Structure 1
Amino acid sequence: MQSHDSTTTSSAPAEGPRTKPTPEQVRRAPKVLLHDHLDGGLRPATIVELAPANGYQALPETDPERLGEWFREAADSGSLERYLETFSHTCGVMQTRESLVRVAAECAEDLAADGVVYAEVRYAPEQHLNGGLTLEEVVEAVNEGFREGERTARARGHRIRVGALLTAMRHAARSLEIAELANRYRDVGVVGFDIAGAEAGFPPTRHLDAFEYLKRENNHFTIHAGEGFGLPSIWQALQWCGADRLGHGVRIIDDIKVAEDGGVTLGRLAAYVRDKRVPLELCPTSNLQTGAASSYADHPIGLLRRLHFRATVNTDNRLMSGTSMSAEFEHLVRTFHYTLDDMQWFTVNAMKSAFIPFDERLAMINDVIKPGYAELKAEWLFR
Structure 2
Amino acid sequence: MTILLAFDVIFVQNAHSGRMDLVALAFFLGAINLHLTGHSSIKQQFIALLGTLAVLTTLRIAILVLPFFALVFFTNIKNKQYQQAATLLLTSMLLYAIWIGIGFGSLSNFLAAYTQSHSSSFTGHTLTSSFLGGNFSIPFHQYPMIALGLMSIALLFKQHYQQQKFWLILLPIPFFYLLVKDTGAYSALVVPFWYLIIGMAFEKQAKANTSCLNRLTAFGAIALLLGVNGGVFLLKSATIATTVPQRNNKQLTAWVSKHLPAQSRVVGDDRYYYAVINNHSDFQYIQRVQSNEARAHYHKEEFQPNYLFISSQTTPDIIEAYKQHFVFGDTFTYTPITQQNMVTRLIQKIPMQIHTSLEGTLIQVTPKKILESN
Q: Which has the higher helix share?
A: 2
Which structure has more relative contact order (CA 8 Å, sep 6+)? It is 1
Q: Which has the larger radius of gyration?
A: 2
TM-score range normalised by the length of the shorter chain: under 0.3
